[in-house]
Structure 1
Amino acid sequence: MPLTRARSFSNGSSAKTTVIPLTETLMTMPTATPSESSSSCLGSHIWIQILRLLRVLQLLSTCAAFSLVVSMGTWRERKIYWYMFAWAFCFIVTLLILIVELRKLESRFPFYWYNFPINYACYATLVCLSASILFGATCIQFLPQGPTRDNAITATAFSCIAAVAYATEVAWTWACHLRGEITRFMRTMPGVLKLLESSMASLILGFISGPQVYQPHPALLWCVAVYYICFILAIVALLLGLVDFDNRQPVLFRISLLGLSLLSVLLYTSAVVLWPLYQFSEKLGGQPQRSSDVSCSDELPSTICTWDQQLTVAILTAINLLVYVADMVYWALQVFVRD
């Protein structure tokens, strides 16, 4: 006998009772929202244990890469500073995340905590991947055969493992249906653009980590300041999306992001003009040809070619300007065209 449920209908002074199958009632009940399903996945024991194992792997990999570079004895060189900072930064932040989750301190933070690890994992993936590529391209090939070169290769391998571990955390989180409000900003076009802007800026900062890349000229020092300022502005924009500011103050959020993007476009436009002008113009003290740079000589195999770094910074600056322009156009449409 099928299960039934009585439902009463009133029409004026008369009342009517109708028997409705309970299966029909169950079929019309609302289903769980994405946030509810993600919460069940978020609270599952297996999901938590896998994330903790990934973070332990991230800690071990970044710590090993950092320690191996220190043991090389060349860590005092300025060109190594950026790579050491990248691995140390990822190690410290991952350790803090692990401590907060083990001590169950998520509720003490004035923003949605579960927004932070997934956004940080996306950024750490690009940082460790960039460090792996740049360290291998600018350091390993210039080292002589021996223990120092072996340590550098091993450090690069651990950096790649860390990048894979962070990327796996991102993929595992998304596979666990943590999409809705938890990763909303990172899945939108502006979130991806901000991530590209900050990661591109980190690459530029890596290439200009040594003072030999730029002369102490006010125009070039201004370009360096532009890279740091825009990097900070991109992080601020990511934090605004991280604290769910777009839901709390949607109009103010769009106007703020438009203002940050417009300021960054203006700053990067000046850098696009000034950096190659003062680096490659002979009249302004630059070196128009690679052969004029003594650091690019084959007689100095252990030295990173400064001219190549300058050219790379110029190319990355132009690319990042295009990303900022796309970001600015998006937010301009959101502010002035949005219904």
Structure 2
Amino acid sequence: MPTRRTSPEVDAICWVFWLLRLPQLFCTCVAFSLVADMGIWRGAVGNWAMSFWCVCFAMTLIISIVELYRRWSDFPFFWHNICVTYTCYAALICLSASIMYSITHVQFLPYGPYRDRAIAATAFSCIASVLYVVEVAGLWAWYELKEIFFYEHTTRALLKVLETFVAGVIFAFLSSTSLYLHQPALEWCVAVYSICFILAAVVLLLGQAEWKYMPPRPFSIFQLVLSLLSVLLYVSALVLWALYQSNEEYGGQLQRSSDMGCTNGLTYTLCFWDRKLTVAILTAVNLLVYVADMVCWASQVSVGTGGQSSAPDPLHSQGVSLQSSGSP
């Protein structure tokens, strides 16, 4: 029976800290500091990016302290699951912050020291995302995650991380309740995002807890049903959100120029039209992720059915072998 490592070695912890964790702390801290020092030129998008970098810095610092003092045994979940899942989120967070900050804010800043600081912060954020990706690849190889429940098929774990992450970004763009309040169809879309996020988060937590004693066949069917339900819900959300985005009869605006908030130049925040369009795009992206998740679980269920139907009965095989050995 193959063995697996459930805790890192001291030498490996030191190498990871000096080669990856310390540069991650430095890059996220510098990016946060550069944007924080911009004052009124920071904007709402800058505040949003700063919160992402701050979370990455704080979590990386906590994980580094726990590993340096070898306190991972105090956690109820296996430490490798926590580290890998957080590192995946951190890579996505820094990458999304780099893209959104540069596209929606940096390019509109006037040339000068503030623009240079914003560009430098974006560069450090990109470096941090690369470092987190390298750490994810290293952790997969180090902990031999192919032998760990829920990470046995890495694609499923990554899809769950993507589902919850994209939903979190959608919630960030829906922070202004005026986008959907008093519109039942859009309120239904927000409910869909919340329901699917909770379902994906629960499954992710089950994987973190390593509930490997659950029957694999019923669990796969349960996952398939949840994925199918999420796909149907997201299809309804995509149709309704796109309809209310483009149809003027429902208060939508097909052209960006129709939104007066988008024609005032740099307002340090995204206008409603941009937010609605971004939510529609992210809804389509998450729908594709859920479809891929459903396909993975459907293939798992079909493989399990085929394996059960084609697998020989050991008692029957034993009886046949005994009869053949006892026959003249």
User: When the two structures are superposed, what TM-score results if normalisation uses the length of structure 1?
Assistant: 0.77
Contact 1:65 1:154 in 2 (8 A): yes
Q: What pairs with 1:224-243 in structure 2 (closer than 5 Å)?
A: 224-243=190-209
Higher helix share: 2
Q: What pairs with 1:143-292 in structure 2 (closer than 5 Å)?
A: 143-176=109-142, 178-182=144-148, 185=151, 187-211=153-177, 217-251=183-217, 253-292=219-258
Contact 1:143 1:302 in 2 (8 A): no
Distance 1:186 1:215 in 2: 42
Contact 1:82 1:209 in 2 (8 A): no
Contact 1:246 1:254 in 2 (8 A): no
Q: Deviations over 1:174-212 (max 9, x none)?
A: 444633335861743322321332333244334434456
3-state SS, counterpart of residue 245 of structure 1: coil
Match of 2:13 in 1: 48
> How many residues matched?
303
Distance 1:330 1:180 in 2: 16
One of 255, 265, 268 as aligned partner of 1:300: 265
* Cα separation, partners in 2 of 1:261 and 1:283, compared to 1, 3 Å: same
* Cα separation, partners in 2 of 1:163 and 1:33, compared to 1, 3 Å: same
Q: What pairs with 1:38-187 in structure 2 (closer than 5 Å)?
A: 42-43=8-9, 45=11, 47-53=12-18, 54-74=20-40, 77-176=43-142, 178-182=144-148, 185=151, 187=153
* Cα separation, partners in 2 of 1:322 and 1:39, compared to 1, 3 Å: closer
Specify which structure has the bigger relative contact order, considering alpha-carbon pairs within 8 angstroms and separated by 6 or more residues.
2
Percent identical pairs in the alignment equals: 53
Q: Which amino acid aligns with 1:137?
A: I
Q: Deviations over 1:31-51 (max 9, x none)?
A: x9463xx679x4261x22221
Contact 1:61 1:158 in 2 (8 A): yes
1:130 CA displacement: 0.8
Contact 1:78 1:210 in 2 (8 A): no
RMSD over aligned CA atoms reads 3.0
1:312 CA displacement: 2.8
Distance 2:291 2:142 in 1: 34
Contact 2:6 2:79 in 1 (8 A): no
1:137 CA displacement: 0.5
3-state SS, counterpart of residue 111 of structure 2: coil
User: When the two structures are superposed, what TM-score results if normalisation uses the length of structure 2?
Assistant: 0.79
Distance 2:59 2:223 in 1: 26
Distance 2:143 2:62 in 1: 24
* Cα separation, partners in 2 of 1:96 and 1:177, compared to 1, 3 Å: closer
1:111 CA displacement: 1.9
* Cα separation, partners in 2 of 1:179 and 1:240, compared to 1, 3 Å: same
Higher strand share: 1
1:230 CA displacement: 2.7
3-state SS, counterpart of residue 104 of structure 1: coil
Q: More deviation in 85-94 or 244-253?
A: 244-253
